[in-house]
A and B are shown apart, each in its own frame.
Chain A
């Protein structure tokens, strides 16, 4: 499993993954439709803002915030945790271990390969959003765009690392899907997915800043909706990548300890 074989397999696996995503496009479409939570929250928050703006958020700001959240969720989605759980329990993982590509790399590429198709659905939503509210809501500072891309990449890596870490817990327990459930519940509240972090009371914000959740989705959304100036954004991105490094190391550790216990029953 040398680095070279992994790198050489990359484009091929990406193509295979993309073909798979296209083959099951109807299913992918339904999956995308299941992430409508930001739109439900949008209904609540715009109703709230109708009487008086909340913080710096008026009705339109909420529309932009939650549509961007929807798009970012699409672009950082990963289901590797469920996949690993399933493959460990059914022993299918042994097939992956035979291949000269590291399984984690393969999971990552599969998740990445569905992205273009998700973009096809997410992009019209984004365009529609800015058609409704006008282009004034886009960041005025052109530097925010590259920073957004960096934060998006960080989010993707963080979400993926978490998925593999929790998925790899399946090596130790029968199923770690319930752990993922609890993580999801925390993620919903503490990441800016349901409530912009800015609207939390200050003491709660201080705590949320120290937790990984908000760097999963809140940060890219905030950068695009103008919550930070340049240095503020850079500082937050530095923290985000700190979390990426931390969880990357944790994931590698759990995976390595877990894979030794793998027995491929049922395979």
Chain B
């Protein structure tokens, strides 16, 4: 365990040093993060103008969901996507060999291979949005709400990560999955609205198949203190089960890796 912590530290440090070469990117990424947040907030302001609630959500409550979405988008693009784009590339070129011969768990190595620290600007943007939302609501989140929201953050990151491991596992079979990154980002975009906006089949899909509701709407509800305890426990259990399943799939798929014709 301690060895893996040290390994993680080394990998993060390497990414950090790499990022420090491009210090301007901090400002650029920050500006882009704010711009993209505005693309979500402006339609909301137009939609909620003159009406108290849409699909049961008031404007500040929907802002909480949005803040959560921005945070997770940062996690996805800063900590999960870069490594996994890298591993897909390695599978295609056959250079995954060099990772596999290292004396550590391959899944750990490939998932921590690269971070984009400047994407943390999303976290700042999201905190501003959340603060704005709670200023409008007029009361800070309760301590239990805050605590359960932190747990929900862990479950949603775990879910995102597991979905990604499944995608990478697919790369062992179908090879070209690099533009699936974009596809996933496009689907994830749907998580910016409270899930009750979606109806019928889409709501079912976004709760159980691609669990977007668990990633942004439920954590927001936890923060607002309206999440049912059953849903909370279900989310924690569900994400752990999902992570375990994705680990099994990964172990099976990596057995199919035959290296490329290098």
User: Which residues of A are found within 8 Å of B186, using beta-carbon distances?
Assistant: 33-37
Instruction: State A181–B185 Cα separation when bound (angstroms).
Output: 15
Give 1 or 0 for each of B19-59: 1 = CB within 8 Å of chain A CB: 00000000010011001101100110011000100110000
A182 touches B31 (CB 8 A): yes
A44 interface neighbour in B36, B38, B185, B197, Cβ under 8 Å: B197
Contacts of B199 in A (CB 8 A): 43, 47
| B32, B47, B182, B190 pick with most chain A CB within 10 angstroms | B47
* Residues in A whose Cβ lies below 8 Å from that of B39: 185, 188-189, 194
One digit per residue, 1 when the CB lies within 8 angstroms of any chain B CB and 0 when it does not, for chain A 170-213 equals 00000000100110011011000011000110000000000000
The complex places the Cα of A114 from the Cα of B87 at a distance, in Å, of: 30
Query: A27 an interface residue at 8 Å Cβ cutoff?
Result: yes
Cβ of B189 < 8 Å from any Cβ of A? Answer: yes
A45 within 8 A of B: yes
With contacts A41-B43, A47-B55 taken as known, whether A31 is within 8 angstroms of B190 at the C-beta atoms is no
Segment 181-198 of B: residues with Cβ below 8 Å from A? 182-183, 185-187, 189-190, 192-193, 197-198
Chain A's closest residue to B41 (CB) is A189
Task: Report B-chain residues with C-beta under 8 Å of the C-beta of A185.
Answer: 32, 35-36, 38-39
Within 8 A of B (CB), among A22-42: 26-27, 30-31, 33-37, 40-41
A136 at the interface (CB under 8 A from B): no
Contact across chains for A30 and B46 when beta carbons are under 8 A apart: no
A186 touches B183 (CB 8 A): no
Kindly list chain A residues whose C-beta atoms are within 8 Å of the C-beta of B93. Answer: none
**Bound state CA distance, A200 and B193, in angstroms?**
20
Q: How far is the CB of B5 from chain A (nearest CB, A)?
A: 34
Complex: A52 Cα to B186 Cα, angstroms:
29
Q: Does B262 contact A (CB under 8 A)?
A: no
Contact call A195/B28, Cβ cutoff below 8 A: no
**Residue from A33, A185, A194, A200 having most chain B Cβ neighbours under 10 A:** A185
Q: B179: CB under 8 A from chain A? A: yes
B46 touches A182 (CB 8 A): no
- The answer to whether A181 touches B183 (Cβ under 8 A) is no
B182 lies within 8 A of A34 (CB): yes
Does B179 contact A31, Cβ atoms closer than 8 Å?
yes
| B190–A43 touching, CB < 8 Å | yes
Q: A51 at the A/B interface (Cβ < 8 Å)?
A: yes
Name the residue on A nearest B56 (C-beta).
A47
The answer to whether B185 touches A34, judged by C-beta atoms less than 8 angstroms apart, is yes
> Contacts of B187 on A, CB cut-off 8 Å?
36
Give the residues from 162 to 218 in chain B that come closer than 8 angstroms, CB to CB, to chain A. Answer: 176, 179-180, 182-183, 185-187, 189-190, 192-193, 197-199, 202
The B interface is mostly helix, strand or loop, or mixed, namely helix
Question: B190 near A40 (CB under 8 angstroms)?
Answer: yes
CB distance from B254 to the nearest CB of A (A): 24
Quick check: A44 and B31 within 8 Å, CB to CB? no
Contact B46 A200 (CB under 8 A): yes
- Which of chain B's residues 123-182 have a Cβ closer than 8 Å to chain A? 176, 179-180, 182
On whether the beta carbons of B32 and A33 are closer than 8 Å, the reply is no
Question: Across the interface, do B32 and A181 meet the contact criterion of CB distance under 8 Å?
Answer: yes
* CB-based contact A44/B189 at 8 Å: no
Min CB–CB distance A86 → chain B (angstroms)? 14
Could you say which residues of chain B place their CB within 8 Å of the CB of A181?
32, 35
Q: Out of A27, A33, A40, A182, name the residue touching B193 (CB < 8 Å).
A: A40
How many Å from the CB of B56 to the closest CB on chain A? 10
Q: Bound complex: CA of A37 vs CA of B192, how far in Å?
A: 11
- How far is B54's CA from A58's CA once the two chains are assembled, in angstroms? 15
- CB pair B43–A195 under 8 Å, yes or no, is yes
Closest residue to A199 on the B side, CB-wise? Answer: B46
Verify if A238 is at the interface (C-beta below 8 Å from B): no
Instruction: State whether the Cβ of A48 lies closer than 8 Å to any Cβ in chain B.
Output: yes
In A158-180, which residues have CB < 8 Å from any B CB?
A: 178
Report the Cα distance A54→B189, complex, angstroms: 24
* Apart from A30-B179, A44-B193: 6 A-B pairs, beta carbons within 8 A: A31-B182, A40-B189, A44-B54, A44-B197, A47-B197, A194-B39
Spell out A's residues near B (CB within 8 Å).
Answer: 26-27, 30-31, 33-37, 40-41, 43-45, 47-48, 51-52, 54, 178, 181-182, 185-186, 188-189, 194-195, 199-200
15 A-B pairs in the complex with CB atoms less than 8 angstroms apart: A26-B176, A27-B179, A30-B183, A31-B179, A34-B179, A36-B189, A40-B192, A44-B43, A48-B47, A51-B51, A182-B35, A185-B32, A185-B35, A185-B36, A195-B42
Chain A to chain B: the 4 pairs with minimum beta-carbon distance, closest first: A185-B35, A34-B186, A188-B39, A34-B182
